[in-house]
A and B are shown apart, each in its own frame.
Chain A
Amino acid sequence: MNSMPWHKQAAALWKKDIRAEMRTRVATGSMGVFALSALLLIALSMLSVKGVEYRDALGRLKPAWDDAGKMALLWTLLCFAAFTGLAHPFVHEEESGTSLALRLYMSAEAVYAGKLLFNLTTLAAMMLVITPAYMLLTGMNTGRLILFFPIMIGGCFGLGSVATVVAALAAKAKSSGALFGAIGLPILVVFLILLMQAAHLCYAGNATPISIVKDVGGLVSFGVMIVALSAMLFHFIWDD
Chain B
Amino acid sequence: MSHRIILMFVMAVPLLVWFGVFFYLLMIDRSLRQAEQEEEGNDSL
Complex contact flag A–B (Cβ < 8 Å): no
Interface residue ranges, B against A (CB under 8 Å): none
